[in-house]
């Protein structure tokens, strides 16, 4: 296997056991290299989370690489074919926790930046990095706090490329130019506990809630639009009962999630749910948690630069998509930045034996460099 600059840096990052929210030494590794090519380095630690803001240049426009050094836990170590933090290459495939999500993309960003700066030392605008160790965790003290700091000093990002693994079948086939919003609800329907043999003396909250739950699951909330699929409602947990077979429970708790498009707001969804529950005559409490607003970057400078770069490097014509979960792009887009996600294949993320094709690493760095060329050269 021929070594490459992107592979070498990937291996160095993958050897860091940076399980969220621990960065270990990843951000220092990146910062040291960026400092050598003229970046001003700021380490921003909030509570137990390390964040890096690095910037080269003082002028607009600002192109920002964004991503995370933290990874999800390894799971059963015995199930891994090789130690998750001792990366191995087998048959052209690089294995290790974070190989796909998203340390190889971080390496490609740094290598692309080093090469671009060497060729274009007097580039237009600024290049920046926003790196956190809190993306796989609660996402409270990471990107959102850095953005708050930048906003407070009126430091704006023009274009942001998040290195999340976006590709599906081959490198560059999918660009995520937006994400659906995520709204969680915990619904508690109240009844009256009693003996199952005396149902007239009890009120079974499961029975009371059943029709409303069915209607929620069958409701068409919207039809989506040009960029977004239709809003979905999914129940993830239902809890009721004492564990005994002869007790009617007093309450039932239903945990659910909306992944919603830009056709609806969180407030509209809340209103429609409460109207439905009220119509069914239920006594209930509901606690809402908004995990992220939907965001969309329409076709423009950033999307076109990415599509052109992908086609130039790989010959692939990229498609735009807003599918999948949330990312830290949801904290950056509300500032007015154009945001997209572009990285390696996502088939193995969060899995045992997470992996990436070694042959995709240098082309990814080339794509990132070409995007810089198109926007800042």
pLDDT tens profile 356-376: 999 999 999 999 999 999 999
Answer for the pair 251, 191: CB distance below 8 angstroms, yes or no. Answer: yes
Q: Check if 135 is active-site.
A: yes
Per-residue model confidence (pLDDT) at position 147: 98
In 191-273 the beta strands, taken as DSSP E runs, fall at 194-195, 232-240, 247-248, 251-260
Which residues lie closer than 8 Å to 8 by C-beta, 6 or more apart? Answer: none
In 102-231 the beta strands, taken as DSSP E runs, fall at 126-132, 159-162, 174-176, 178-179, 181-190, 194-195
Per the prediction, the chain carries an average pLDDT of: 96
Q: Check if 218 is active-site.
A: no
Answer for the pair 111, 372: CB distance below 8 angstroms, yes or no. Answer: no
Determine which one of 50, 70, 136, 341 is catalytic.
70
Q: Which of 314, 327, 350 lies closest to 100, judged by CA?
A: 350
pLDDT tens profile 323-332: 887 889 999 9
Determine which one of 135, 136, 164, 370 is catalytic.
135
Enter the pTM of the model: 0.88
Which residues lie closer than 8 Å to 338 by C-beta, 6 or more apart? Answer: 158, 159, 160, 297, 300, 301, 302, 303
Q: Which of 110, 184, 147, 22 lies closest to 361, judged by CA?
A: 110
pLDDT band for 292, please (50, 70, 90 cuts): confident
Q: Give phi and psi for 218, each to the nearest 5.
A: -100, -10
Q: What is the CA radius of gyration of the chain?
A: 24
């Amino acid at each position: 296997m021929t070594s490459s600059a992107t592979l070498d840096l990937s291996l160095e990052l993958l050897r860091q056991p940076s399980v969220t929210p621990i960065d270990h030494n990843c951000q220092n590794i990146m910062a040291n290299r960026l400092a050598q090519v003229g970046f001003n380095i700021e380490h921003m630690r909030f509570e137990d989370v390390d964040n890096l803001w690095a910037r080269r240049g003082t002028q607009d426009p600002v192109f920002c690489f964004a991503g995370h050094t933290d990874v999800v836990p390894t799971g059963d170590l015995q199930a891994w074919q090789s130690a998750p933090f001792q990366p191995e290459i087998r048959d052209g495939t690089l294995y290790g926790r974070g190989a796909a999500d998203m340390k190889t993309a971080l390496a490609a960003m740094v290598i692309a930046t080093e090469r671009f700066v060497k060729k274009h030392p007097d580039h237009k605008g600024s290049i920046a990095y926003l790196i956190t160790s809190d993306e796989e965790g609660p996402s409270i003290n990471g990107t959102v706090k850095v953005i708050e700091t930048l906003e407070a000093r009126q430091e704006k990002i023009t274009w942001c490329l998040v290195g999340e693994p976006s590709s599906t079948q081959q490198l560059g086939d999918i660009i995520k130019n937006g994400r659906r919003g995520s709204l969680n609800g915990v619904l508690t329907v109240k009844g009256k506990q009693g003996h199952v043999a005396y149902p007239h003396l009890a009120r079974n909250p499961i029975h009371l809630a059943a029709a409303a739950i069915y209607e929620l699951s069958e409701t068409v909330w919207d039809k989506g639009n040009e960029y977004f699929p239709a809003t979905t409602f999914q129940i993830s947990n239902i809890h009721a009962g004492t564990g005994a077979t002869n007790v009617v429970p007093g309450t039932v708790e239903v945990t659910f999630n909306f992944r919603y498009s830009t056709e609806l707001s969180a407030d509209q969804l809340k209103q429609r749910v409460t109207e439905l529950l009220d119509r069914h005559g239920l006594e209930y409490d509901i606690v809402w948690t908004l995990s992220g607003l939907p965001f969309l970057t329409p076709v423009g400078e950033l999307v076109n630069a990415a599509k052109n770069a992908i086609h130039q490097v790989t010959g692939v014509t990229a498609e735009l998509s807003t599918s999948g979960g949330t990312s830290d792009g949801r904290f950056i887009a509300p500032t007015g930045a154009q945001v997209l996600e572009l990285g390696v294949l996502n088939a193995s993320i969060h899995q045992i034996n997470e992996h990436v094709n070694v042959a995709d690493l240098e082309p990814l760095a080339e794509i990132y460099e070409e995007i810089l060329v198109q926007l800042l050269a």
